[in-house]
Structure 1
Amino acid sequence: MTIRPFDPAEAEQLARLFEAMQAHYRVPCPTRPAIVADLRRLPPGNRILVAEADGVLAGFAAFAEIWPGPGLRKGLFLKELYVDDAHRGKGLGRGLVKALAALALAEGHSRVDWTADRSNPGLLAFYDATGARREAEKLCYRLTGEALAHLAGRES
């Protein structure tokens, strides 16, 4: 297993994993050309680590820098962590989180944050095993769709 930064030349390969992730969560997926285009022009501050196993991209961690945090320090926010079905249970997910933790420390970040689905006990056990602390006092909000348009004053 190798974990390294994503190379935009691998956009087609990584798009396959993005499609698999969307299928896994049973959510709509853009077309592959749209995914590839987005991967080739990531917004500033957004990065991806990839896990390669058996000569193929088998997982990824997509993350971004966040600021300010406690003590007005910078941190990282893990947006997506995914390992394809054929490579689960082989340490790739843990390897990606470990590599992200090492990157955070190397770059002077004070923390790594993420969210997790409360209804997925296997996922929660995986994250608990990293030594991360559940933040019970925090609640995630999402503004999307009609509510986003309404608040922005752009009702249809």
Structure 2
Amino acid sequence: MRIGLVSSNQHEPTIEVLCEINAYYNPSSPASKETVRQHARENLLSPNSPHRLVVAEGKDGRVVGLAALTFAYSIVEPEMDRRTQCQLKELYVCSSERGRGIGRALMAWVAAHAKERGCSRIEWPVKASNAIGIAFYESLGARLVEDRLSYRLAGSELSELACQGNGVREAASLETSSKPGRLG
């Protein structure tokens, strides 16, 4: 098995895995392969993407697992040994390949890569109902962050708050443009 950052010759096999991930999370209405391909090419595999995709390739050349990472600088921890953090957005092993150590190997590669980048930690969300995933992460030595919760703003609540934000931005723009000597 080979693990590394996705290369251009692995894009199409990676798209196959992304289709499987999409179907896993959206079993009643998975996206079409073309929609997944377009999203991957325009966003996930783009040189401008904040994500770095890491793939595990089997002996037969198939992509059998994937991790998606982003790196961020801490806002509140400026110390050199704590300022860079790795966010694991996704860890996925193809259903036909589970139980073969691929997830552990991907996480070990991610940990080494994060350390090389100066990261002091790797953080990721996991569904509270994912007992198998939680047990796996704990077997790696990861621990639940007791003092953190995850929130989501979506749908009509997101739209409603965005409308309020647009009003605030418009008011600030008007205020700035009405001051003498200032361009709006």
Structure 2-normalised TM-score?
A: 0.76
How is 1:4-153 mapped onto 2 (pairs within 5 angstroms)? 4-26=4-26, 28-41=29-42, 42=44, 43-55=48-60, 56-68=62-74, 71-72=77-78, 73-153=83-163
List runs of 5+ in structure 2 lacking aligned partners.
165-184
User: C-alpha deviations, 1:76-103, integer Å up to 9, x for none?
Assistant: 1000100011110101001111100000
For residue 18 of structure 1, what is the amino acid of its counterpart?
L
Stretch deviating more after TM superposition (66-75 or 10-19): 66-75
Give 4+ residue runs of structure 1 displaced > 6 Å after superposition.
none
**Deviation at 1:58?**
0.3
Q: Does the 8 Å contact 2:22/2:31 carry over to 1?
A: no
Stretch deviating more after TM superposition (25-34 or 76-85): 25-34
Percent of residue pairs bearing the same amino acid type: 32
Distance in 1 separating the partners of 2:106 and 2:160 = 38
For residue 17 of structure 1, what is the amino acid of its counterpart?
V
Query: Which structure is larger by alpha-carbon Rg, 1 or 2?
Result: 2
Q: Does the 8 Å contact 2:23/2:31 carry over to 1?
A: no
Distance in 1 separating the partners of 2:70 and 2:52 = 6
Q: Does the 8 Å contact 1:11/1:36 carry over to 2?
A: no
Structure 1-normalised TM-score?
A: 0.89
